[in-house]
Amino acid sequence: MTKLTSSVNGHPRAASEPIWEYAPAPEARNIVKIQPQYGLFINGQFVEPQSGCYFPTLSPSSEERLSEVAWAGAEDVNSAVQAARNAYESVWRKMPGKERAKYLFRIARLLQERSREFAVLESLDGGKPIRESRDVDIPLAAAHFFYYAGWADKLEYAFQGRRPEPLGVAGQIIPWNFPLLMASWKIAPALACGNTVVLKPAETTPLTALLLCEIFQQADLPPGVVNMITGDGETGAHLVNHPDVDKIAFTGSTEVGKRIQRSIAGSRKKLTLELGGKAANVIFEDAALDQAVEGIVNGIYFNQGHVCCAGSRLLVEESVYEVVKRKLKRRIELLRVGDPLDKNTDIGAINSKAQWEKIVALTQTGVEEGATLHQSSCVLPERGYWFRPTFFTEVAVSHTIAREEIFGPVLAVLSFRTPEEAAQLANNTRYGLSAGVWTEKGSKYLAFASRLKAGVVWCNTYNKFDPASPFGGYKESGFGREGGVHGLSAYTRVG
Ligand code: ADP
């Protein structure tokens, strides 16, 4: 370890103060073999798309073309749904729960065995730091398969004497922020309950979902139980509107979620939506402030703010507002922005050019509307899509940056005087996915948390997940729950 005086290994030095810098510690990239081209995974095999079309997937940290993947048109979606229907009728719905469980356990174990491969691929394709993909995404994905494997033969106990039946074919559409984890959140409970699946990953991050298909082959999962169709919004719309799909599970933007809800209204399809968020992190004056600031940083900057439950609004009690602001300013200077494959990196690349442009535009709006901008002075790599850790003070509740989901490392800081005002500010949003409370008093956080209209409220921590805990939103953050025993309801019909 050396004391740094200039930029090193893509981890530029903060201009205002010297920081202790680590030697480069890149994870070996060659652990994962990326094919030059991927077909669609239908009926247990990779097949060429009937559409004849492919599209590239890039690494957002280098703009390097990693591979090209098939684009599924209406006919391809139809083949995938047919394969899922056949597997449902002929094998999966009839299989005893304890047999289904064995497949889920096997998938979980294989994910653990190949976890480094998955972590490297996730960071390459999505831009997130390897520390996050290695320590959060991949272990949690395996944990979801383990957890739901445990439920597969105990479903009648989950519904207290009522008989749960699978729904049939589940169409699942996921976003780019946690590609493998979102796929696992969706696939594991669906399979545990006896459904079969057609899943569409996001267009910018298809690679770990496709690697997961190799695991399905290794685990000898019966053909057609899970089918993977890569493509864009049009592919997703074909899946949503397919007449032989019984259930749609969607995670993504509120705008697309509303469109999906409209297009299946009146059909027999069951729907769960996990949409946007504008979470408030609330710091009371009695909180352990250093710990709170660390939690705020974890909640908005790690993973580039690419989390629907990101703590993108910070509400600070007025008496500690200046202290928190100072600590935050110092802390963002110390965050290391750079190569996602380096184990010392705190903040990786923004997932795509389109997302980067959106973050830039919303940040510009923040400045134009009169809020004060604070940004880390770090130097960004020349290639790829990057954004400095940023926060705004002098923010009014009417400002766009206090209302709109930015989905980037940008925090809006406001102050409050009383718990009533804090609750009112925290709930003053069209979303209701998550929130955080920081106080040393147990009675205070319990009382305060119960006033927040959010699916999850973390106390003295943030962004903590467990497969046994349900996750989902209020208001325009969607409906239905994923995870835990609640997550089984989304994939069953109870008699
Ligand atoms: P984000 O803003 O996070 O990219 P989107 O809602 O645009 O979120 O995308 C989330 C997922 O929804 C992606 O897999 C995308 O391809 C898919 N998608 C986009 N538009 C539609 C649509 N009209 N119908 C179904 N899926 C869609």
Give the model's pLDDT for residue 178: 96
The answer to whether 127 touches 61, Cβ cutoff 8 Å, is yes
The answer to whether 435 touches 452, Cβ cutoff 8 Å, is yes
The residue nearest atom 21 of ligand 1, judged by CA position, is 233
CATH 3.40.309.10 for domain 280-467, yes or no, is yes
CA of 91 to the centre of ligand 1 (A): 31
Pairing of strands 492-494, 478-479: unpaired
Average pLDDT over residues 320-333: 97
Average pLDDT over residues 50-59: 98
CA-wise closest residue to 419 among 319, 293, 312, 317: 317
Distance of CA 265 to the CA centre of its chain: 26
pLDDT at 273 over 60: yes
Q: Is 186 in the pocket of ligand 1 (CB under 6 A)?
A: no
CA-wise closest residue to 218 among 117, 148, 135: 117
Q: Is 81 in the pocket of ligand 1 (CB under 6 A)?
A: no
Give the model's pLDDT for residue 9: 41
* Residue ranges of the chain assigned to CATH 3.40.605.10: 32-275+477-494
For domain 32-275+477-494, give the fold.
Answer: Aldehyde Dehydrogenase; Chain A, domain 1 (3.40.605)
**Ligand 1 probe mutation, 238, 256, 306, 431, most atoms within 8 A of CB:** 256
**467-476 tens-digit pLDDT:** 999 999 999 8
CA of 175 to the centre of ligand 1 (A): 7
Name 481's Cβ contacts closer than 8 Å, sequence gap at least 6: 272, 455, 470, 471, 472, 487, 489, 490
First to last CA, the chain: 63
Q: Is 60 helix (H, G, I), strand (E, B) or coil?
A: coil
Amino acid 127 reads G
Q: Please give the Cα distance from 184 to 102 (Å, whole number).
A: 16
pLDDT at 289 over 50: yes
Give the model's pLDDT for residue 25: 92
Q: Is 238 helix (H, G, I), strand (E, B) or coil?
A: helix
Amino acid 392 reads F
* Residue ranges of the chain assigned to CATH 3.40.309.10: 280-467
The residue nearest atom 3 of ligand 1, judged by CA position, is 252
Q: Is 493 helix (H, G, I), strand (E, B) or coil?
A: strand
Pairing of strands 247-251, 270-274: parallel
**435-446 tens-digit pLDDT:** 999 999 999 999
Q: Which of 274, 333, 405, 476 is catalytic?
A: 274
CA of 310 to the centre of ligand 1 (A): 19
Q: Is 388 in the pocket of ligand 1 (CB under 6 A)?
A: no
**62-108 tens-digit pLDDT:** 999 999 999 999 999 999 999 999 999 999 999 999 999 999 999 99
The residue nearest atom 24 of ligand 1, judged by CA position, is 237
Assess whether 405 carries a catalytic annotation: no
Q: Which of 213, 308, 309, 378 is catalytic?
A: 308
pLDDT at 1 over 60: no
The residue nearest atom 26 of ligand 1, judged by CA position, is 236
Provide the mean pLDDT of the chain.
94
Assess whether 308 carries a catalytic annotation: yes
Pairing of strands 492-494, 164-166: antiparallel
Q: Is 200 in the pocket of ligand 1 (CB under 6 A)?
A: yes
Q: Please give the Cα distance from 434 to 279 (Å, whole number).
A: 5
Give the model's pLDDT for residue 483: 93
CA of 233 to the centre of ligand 1 (A): 5
pLDDT at 46 over 80: yes
Distance of CA 300 to the CA centre of its chain: 13
pLDDT at 11 over 60: no
Q: Please give the Cα distance from 238 to 233 (Å, whole number).
A: 9
